[in-house]
Amino acid sequence: MSGVLSYLLSCIFVVAVHGSMLMSVYNNGNYASVNDVITLSAAVVLLDAVYFVIMPFFKQRTYAVDFMLLLILNMSMIFQSCFGGVHFETKHFITIIAALVSCRIGYILCRNHRWIQTKKKFLWAGIGILLVVIFLFTGDRSMWIDFGFMSIQPSEFIKPLLVLACATSIAEQQNRHKVMEFNVVYDNLIVFGITAVVILFQWWCRDLGSIPTFAAIYASCFFMRICYPKAKFSRKTIIIAGSVVAVAAIIGIILAPAYVKARLFADIWSNPNEDGYQQTKALIAIAEGGWFGKGAGNGFLHEVFAYESDIVFATISEEWGLLFAIMTVFMLLLIVAMPLVNPPRSYYHGTMCAGVCAAFTMQMALNIFGSCNMIPFTGVTLPFISAGGSSMVVSGLMIGMIVAAQSPVFANPSKKKNNKKKRRKV
């Protein structure tokens, strides 16, 4: 009973937030005719309503993450539709629906961790195929495949695959093999190899922006695997190793050659129309917006390249205020932090959530801190907020994994496979 109540309560509040935002657009926004605002409102509220009706049919155990996803996606829809004057951003609306669909797909694929574990070979193959696709079809060291009517960024799709490949169960970690005095878990080596190949490949593609994300996914998975194979890594060792790495990184930054430092600590203000054009404009826009913003559609940042993707945080900040932009980011954090409130029931799902969390936080950090000139500007997208189909679908898939971890299904895939697994284990 309380479940139904909290479901309804959540519905009401999600719609209330969207309604309040739309009111804000109506009051402070920059629109040519009220019809634009009405169209937008209708689309947003309709999507909310349809989703609320459809969702119970999935008979999930939890819906909180879905509510959050819908909340953020429609917020994103309102943001994107208001940049440079209120209009209906059809393309973004389609990608939002794609994200919702891909979230369902992610959920269905991952809810049974036993089943997805038996498919690990397909994951590895998938990453391999994507790498080959990138190698063959993207332009000269670029990261896009252009289909004419749309372009796809295949490297994005490696992210969820890598998250799944990095996730592991305890049983898998205890499946040790003795190779020359060493206890080796094959899966660990394979994951390490895959990550190394992916990162090197991205380096070759000059897609430097996504490397930290892959590295973060692997770091989270490495942290969770390091405890198990031989049980020799105590907490102390990990803390010491971590601090050694941190100190080494600091020393490295201090001793780095001049041109690396120039890249890291570029003074964008000395020449604001060249290297740091986007960052300076973004920072000026944030400053102009202040805490409470100029009102939807009143900003100037929509005249700057990549306003809807790479520096979207600043664009929102300018129009809606830094306070609201930060709270939007908090909502994004909250989605990936949901497993902290409602913990998963299996280690595979736990590691999967950690991987998703690592990917999201790293990507958000690169986008937000990069556009505000705290770290080098790399031009990655802000999950769900930036426009862009590939990013949207992939982020949806990853949130689907979190939904799966919250509403898992514990069932043996099929007798045959189960037996096979048993034999290997014993």
Residues 319-348 that bind another protein (CB under 8 A): 320-324, 326-331, 333-334, 336-347
| Distance set, CA 38 to CA 25, 46, 70 (Å) | 10, 12, 20
272 binds another protein (CB under 8 A): yes
| Residue carrying structure tokens 């939807």 | 296
Using CB under 8 A as the binding rule, whether residue 215 contacts another protein is answered as: no
Query: What minimum distance in Å lies between the beta carbon of 388 and another protein?
Result: 21
Size of the site for another protein (CB under 8 A): 100
244 binds another protein (CB under 8 A): no
Interaction of residue 133 with another protein, rule CB under 8 A: no
Q: Does 106 bind another protein (CB under 8 A)?
A: no
| CA angle centred on 124, ends 119 and 125, rounded to 5° | 95
Binding mask 16-55 for another protein (x = CB under 8 A): xx--xx-xx--xx---------------------------
Cite the beta strand spans of 181-323 per DSSP E. Answer: 182-184
Element (H, E) at 145: strand 145-146
Enumerate residues 65-84 that contact another protein by CB under 8 A.
65, 67-68, 71
Torsion of CA 117, 119, 124, 129, to 10 degrees: -150
CB distance 306 to 379 below 8 Å: yes
Question: 154 or 396: whose CB is closer to another protein?
Answer: 396
For another protein, the binding residues in 389-418 under the rule CB under 8 A are 406, 410-412
Question: Applying CB under 8 A, does 102 fall inside the site for another protein?
Answer: no
Report if residue 63 touches another protein, rule: CB under 8 A.
yes
The window from 136-144, 155-163, 190-198, 219-227 that contacts another protein (CB under 8 A) reads 219-227
Under 8 Å between Cβ of 244 and 252:
no
Other residues' Cβ atoms within 10 Å of the Cβ of residue 248? 10
Residue 380 as a binder of another protein (CB under 8 A): the answer is no
Q: Within 13 Å, how many C-alpha atoms sit on residue 9's CB side? A: 7
Residue (108 or 226) nearer to another protein, CB? 226
Confirm or reject binding of residue 201 to another protein (CB under 8 A).
no
184 strand-pairing partners = 177
Q: Which long-range contacts (CB under 8 A, 24 or more apart) does 281-286 make?
A: 281/311, 281/314, 282/311, 282/313, 282/314, 282/315, 282/371, 282/372, 282/373, 283/314, 283/372, 283/373, 285/314, 285/315, 285/317, 285/318, 286/314, 286/317, 286/318, 286/322, 286/372
Q: Which residues lie across from 74 on neighbouring strands?
A: none
User: Looking at 117-125, 134-142, 215-223, 377-385, which segment touches another protein (CB under 8 A)?
Assistant: 215-223
Which region, judged by CB under 8 A, interacts with another protein, from 43-51, 85-93, 127-135, 166-174? 166-174
- Report if residue 168 touches another protein, rule: CB under 8 A: no
Cα torsion for 47, 51, 54, 55, to the nearest 10°? 170
Q: Which range touches another protein (CB under 8 A), out of 42-50, 363-371, 376-384, 385-393? A: 363-371
Q: Does 100 bind another protein (CB under 8 A)?
A: no
Stretch that binds another protein, among 45-53, 144-152, 153-161, 229-237 (CB under 8 A): 229-237
The token pair that represents 341 in the structure block: 């409130």
Residue of the chain from 99, 110, 162, 353 that contacts another protein (CB under 8 A): 353
Choosing from 122, 203, 269, 305, the residue that interacts with another protein (CB under 8 A) is 269
Residue 361, Cα to own-chain centre: how many angstroms?
7
